Amino acid sequence: MEFFVTGASGYVGQGVVRELISAGHRVTGLARSPAGAARIEALGARAVAGTLDEPAAVADLARAAEGVAHLGYKTDDTTDLAGSGRADAAVIAAIGDALAGTGKPLVTTSGTLLVGAAGSLATERLAADFRTPLGAARGPSEEATLALADRGVRSAVVRLAPTVHSDADVRGFVSTLIGVARRAGVSGYVGDGEQRWPSVHRADAAVLYRLALEHAPAGTRLHGVAEQGVRIREIAEAIGQLVGVPTASVPAERAADHFGWLGHLVQLDNPVSSEATRELLGWHPDQPSLIDEIGGGAYDGLLSVANRR
């Protein structure tokens, strides 16, 4: 099959493109820059210039494909959650109009932090919590995707764990925390550090997107989660050992100063189940765990790059 992928030159997107091609599919990827196009083409896919600011053009590319994986998301301003959410919803609406009545698959992207941030185990049955800033921003895109099932689109949402790890992670949550630890001289956690984040390896996440495109029923929520919850203190300790700095608790009132844009997120307890996703699609994550990755050398390259600056 021939799939159209937005965000194809991004961190998770490149993994998805590679997985689709290895499974025998053809891929067209949206590229907003020549550098992005080069990354897409190096994977064996076709690159088409365009941006998410042009929903109509994105819809035309979606219409010409046999299915769509939407991983692109505007993050130019990390403080404008609402604006990014509106832009995402507009792209999904345009793609939905293009695919309506075709039965083609559309797989969009969300995050587990939209549900279960209060500490109870979140399942695929839970809708996004619109009461939080993140839920208010990205929840409408989830609901719009699921609603397309009633318009003849085989739509599904993949909620990714906040830590999508691999040796290619240079801008994700873990790599950001490594950078914070290097600058601050301490690897921190908030309070007792018992907050939990789910995690997934990029390669396992890519397999989930492929399975969703190939088989997910219409109107499905899927959880891209291999580990239900890794304690933030355990992550901080692994990073401290990697960087060679002590580990310490950071008071909640200083979290924003210490962690920057992650200051609020590191305080969320977000255990998440993917049992229903695994049973539905036969998804079996088999890549190394987050802590094994940090301790096993996957992030050593970040230290080498920093030392060369």
Quick: pLDDT tens for 48-64.
999 999 999 999 999 99
Is there a domain that residue 210 lies in? yes
Its domain, for residue 60, covers 2-163+199-227
Provide the percentage of residues in the chain whose pLDDT is more than 90: 91
pLDDT surpasses 60 at 187: yes
Q: Are 213 and 107 in contact (CB under 8 A)?
A: yes
Q: Are residues 66 and 40 in the same domain?
A: yes
130: in domain: yes
Distance separating alpha carbons of residues 37 and 142, to the nearest angstrom = 28
- 66-97 tens-digit pLDDT: 999 999 998 766 668 889 999 999 999 999 99
Is residue 116 pLDDT above 90, yes or no?
no
282: in domain: no
Q: What is the pLDDT of residue 305?
A: 56
pLDDT at 306 exceeding the cut of 60? no
Average pLDDT over the chain, rounded to whole?
95
- Residue reference for tokens 């698959």: 105
Residue 302 lies in a domain: yes
Q: Are 38 and 75 in contact (CB under 8 A)?
A: no
CA angle 279, 283, 287 (to 5 degrees): 140
Same-domain status, 302 and 175? yes
Q: What sign does the dihedral 151-10-287-160 (CA atoms) show?
A: negative
CA distance 94 to 149: 15
Do 12 and 136 fall into the same domain?
yes
- In this structure, the answer to whether residues 7 and 62 fall within a common structural domain is yes
Q: Specify whether 6 is located in the same domain as 130.
A: yes
The answer to whether position 211 is within a domain reads: yes
Pairs from 85-88 (Cβ < 8 Å, separation ≥ 24): 85/136, 85/137, 85/138, 85/140, 85/141, 87/52, 87/53, 88/52, 88/138, 88/141
Average pLDDT over residues 196-206: 98
203-254 residue pLDDT tens: 999 999 999 999 999 999 999 999 999 999 999 999 999 999 999 999 999 9
- What is the model's pLDDT at position 308? 40
Interatomic CA distance for residues 132 and 137, integer angstroms? 9
Do 71 and 43 belong to one domain?
Answer: yes
Average pLDDT rounded to a whole number, residues 271-298: 97
Question: Do 9 and 111 reside in the same domain of the chain?
Answer: yes
Residues 101 and 204 in one domain: yes
Residue with tokens 């130019």: 76
199 and 165 in contact (C-beta within 8 Å)? yes
Considering only CA atoms, which of 177, 154, 174, 155 is closest in space to residue 165?
174
The whole-number pLDDT of residue 133 equals: 86
Count of structural domains, the chain: 2
Same domain, 153 and 255: no
pTM listed for this prediction? 0.96
Q: Could you tell me if residue 276 is inside a domain?
A: no
Q: Is residue 275 part of a domain?
A: no
Looking at residue 60, which CATH number applies to its domain?
3.40.50.720
Q: What is the mean pLDDT of residues 255-278?
A: 96
Do residue 43 and residue 123 come from a single domain? Answer: yes
My answer on whether 141 and 193 are in the same domain is: no
The CATH number for 183's domain is 3.90.25
Query: Do 47 and 83 reside in the same domain of the chain?
Result: yes
| Residue 78 belongs to some domain of the structure | yes
